């Protein structure tokens, strides 16, 4: 293990040592060390800029690069000795750098503050994590498209109020999931635009008197530009809140998917089979197969939404500029990232292996008079006003309920009792296949339309 200087780098101002409890209470190194590699990345760019501006010599710069590279490797190898006394990831790395290279290590902090340093680290961290989140989201979207294409012809009941409404295809239902995820992807990309602005160089709050080149640092770190106002740069965490809001929307969508998977896998629906690898059994009931992954994802949606509320409350009453409150931004943010990535990964692994029970879906679509709207549309095409058609079909449905038959099982004579406009061709409109095929407009449930939607989605995702 390496040894870190235990004397605080910022302790000269104080006449007495920090209380032992307060030292632990105020330290963030136990969780912000997660940003260690981003901290090193930012420091390397900052040092390169200082050298180009003549603030560091070439020798000092090379010593800093050598020291930070060694520290980074120690961290990756688990050899770095983190110290509570140094409070946070930034001071731990700086203290160790000074141990390794001497005075040059103390010069690294020229022209910056921990305030702009941490704001930069968080942005670098989130930018990297958004790339991984997008990767997992793309895996899930691809899995949904594969299933939608496979089941473009699979008929199932569509629901409103969880009551059978109209027949649709399972592929069409899955493409609704895809559209939700596509909007989530767009929100992530949009969030990343505002995230990708560099605070470094704002220093504590007012900027710095050193002749720094913020445009150069931004270029080295891959930011679109440096931030426009030093006070705002270190004050706000709206970019973290926006990301967590986006994450909350993704989790809300995953929670809705989960609810449907849970219902569909129940004995009462029995529409799908969730692979055993994503389920667990009961400690007392040997027949049980519990959809634990969807249930847990549904539960974790509340956890992420809670983090969003936490961050909003964290910021709502803070005066400008930096306040210690902002130390509380990291744990909910980190947990949001972990939770979202894990849930997306679980779904991306699970969705390709979900099996659809086509016969069960088909039989369910035949119940609940799912083609009633088709009969009304048939009458409208024959010249009847829609409201009159609605009433006539309602009476036909009542007969079906009373006799325990679907509309397609009523005789032509029985149907004609509700309107003389009904002819023998009515039964073409009352089949499930006819119903879904008739909805062939853009966004409709017809099998060919679903296949076109899948092809377009694949091109957009590529």
The CA dihedral of 218, 223, 229, 233, to the nearest 10 degrees, is -110
Rg value, the chain, Cα: 31
In tens, the pLDDT along 191-217 reads: 999 999 999 999 999 999 999 999 999
Residue 1's pLDDT is 38
Q: Are residues 279 and 391 in the same domain?
A: no
13 part of a folded domain: no
Q: Are residues 173 and 312 in the same domain?
A: yes
CA distance readout (Å), 342 to 126, 149, 335, 339, 383: 16, 26, 10, 5, 55
Residue 2's pLDDT is 39
Residue 3's pLDDT is 38
Q: What are the DSSP calls for 246-264, one per residue?
A: HHHHHHHHHHHHHHHHHHH
Task: Say which residues have a Cβ less than 8 Å from residue 433's Cβ, sequence separation at least 6.
Answer: 155
Q: Give the residue numbers annotated as catalytic, written as ranges.
A: 161, 282
Q: Are residues 344 and 421 in the same domain?
A: no
273 part of a folded domain: yes
In tens, the pLDDT along 217-263 reads: 999 999 999 999 999 999 999 999 999 999 999 999 999 999 999 99
Task: Say which residues have a Cβ less than 8 Å from residue 168's Cβ, sequence separation at least 6.
Answer: 155, 156, 157, 158, 436, 445
311 part of a folded domain: yes
Residue 282's pLDDT is 80
Residue 10's pLDDT is 61
Residue 5's pLDDT is 39
146 part of a folded domain: yes
Do 83 and 167 contact (CB within 8 A), yes or no? no
Q: How many domains does the chain have?
A: 3
Q: Are residues 312 and 418 in the same domain?
A: no
Do 177 and 257 contact (CB within 8 A), yes or no? yes
Q: Are residues 178 and 195 in the same domain?
A: yes
Segments of the chain scoring below 50 in pLDDT:
1-6
Do 327 and 315 contact (CB within 8 A), yes or no? no
Q: Which domain holds residue 65?
A: 20-110
1 part of a folded domain: no
What are the beta bridge partners of residue 167?
Answer: 157
In tens, the pLDDT along 345-364 reads: 999 999 999 999 999 999 99
Do 240 and 122 contact (CB within 8 A), yes or no? yes
What CATH number does residue 106 fall under? 1.10.275.10
Q: Are residues 402 and 331 in the same domain?
A: no
Q: Are residues 137 and 281 in the same domain?
A: yes
Q: Are residues 63 and 180 in the same domain?
A: no
455 part of a folded domain: no
Q: Which residues of 417-435 are buried (b: 16+ CB within 10 A; e: fewer)?
A: ebbebbeeebeebbbbeeb
164: three-class secondary structure by DSSP = strand
């Amino acid at each position: 293990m390496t040894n870190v200087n235990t004397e605080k780098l910022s302790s000269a101002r104080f006449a007495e040592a920090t209380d032992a409890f307060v030292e632990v209470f105020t330290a963030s190194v136990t969780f912000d060390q997660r940003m260690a590699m981003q901290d090193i990345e930012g420091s390397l760019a900052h040092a390169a800029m200082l050298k180009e501006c003549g603030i560091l010599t070439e020798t000092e710069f090379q010593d800093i690069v050598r020291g930070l590279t060694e520290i980074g490797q120690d961290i990756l190898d688990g050899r770095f000795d983190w110290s509570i006394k140094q409070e946070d990831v930034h001071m731990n790395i700086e203290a160790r750098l000074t141990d390794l290279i001497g005075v040059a290590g103390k010069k690294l902090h020229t022209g910056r503050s921990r305030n702009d340093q941490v704001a930069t680290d968080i942005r670098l961290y989130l930018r990297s994590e958004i790339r991984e989140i997008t990767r997992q989201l793309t895996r899930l979207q691809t899995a949904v498209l594969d299933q939608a294409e496979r089941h473009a012809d699979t008929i199932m009941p569509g629901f409103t109020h969880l009551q059978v409404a109209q027949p649709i295809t399972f592929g069409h239902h899955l493409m609704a999931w895809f559209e939700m995820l596509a909007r989530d992807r767009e929100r992530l990309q949009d969030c990343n635009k505002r995230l990708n602005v560099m605070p470094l160089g704002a220093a504590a709050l007012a900027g710095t008197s050193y002749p720094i080149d913020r445009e150069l640092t931004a270029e080295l770190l891959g930011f679109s530009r440096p931030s426009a106002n030093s006070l705002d740069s270190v004050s706000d965490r709206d970019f973290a809140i926006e990301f967590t809001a986006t994450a909350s929307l993704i989790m809300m969508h995953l929670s809705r998917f989960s609810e449907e998977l849970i219902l569909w896998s129940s004995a009462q629906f029995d529409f799908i089979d969730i692979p055993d690898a994503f389920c667990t059994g009961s400690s007392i009931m040997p027949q049980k197969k519990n959809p634990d992954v969807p249930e847990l994802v549904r539960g974790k949606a509340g956890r992420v939404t809670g983090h969003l509320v936490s961050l909003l409350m964290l910021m709502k009453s803070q005066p400008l500029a930096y306040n210690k409150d902002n130390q509380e931004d990291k744990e909910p943010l980190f947990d949001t990232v972990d939770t979202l990535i894990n849930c997306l990964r679980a779904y991306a692994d699970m969705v390709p292996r979900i099996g659809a029970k086509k016969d069960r879906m088909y039989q369910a679509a035949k119940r609940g008079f799912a083609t009633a709207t088709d009969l009304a549309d048939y009458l409208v095409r024959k010249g009847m006003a829609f409201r009159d058609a609605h009433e006539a079909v309602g009476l036909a449905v009542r007969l079906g309920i009373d006799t325990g038959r679907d509309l397609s099982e009523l005789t032509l004579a029985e149907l004609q009792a509700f309107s003389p406009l009904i002819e023998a061709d009515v039964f073409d409109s009352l089949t499930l296949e006819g119903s879904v095929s008739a909805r062939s407009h853009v966004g409709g449930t017809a099998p060919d339309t679903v296949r076109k939607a899948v092809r377009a989605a694949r091109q957009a995702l590529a």
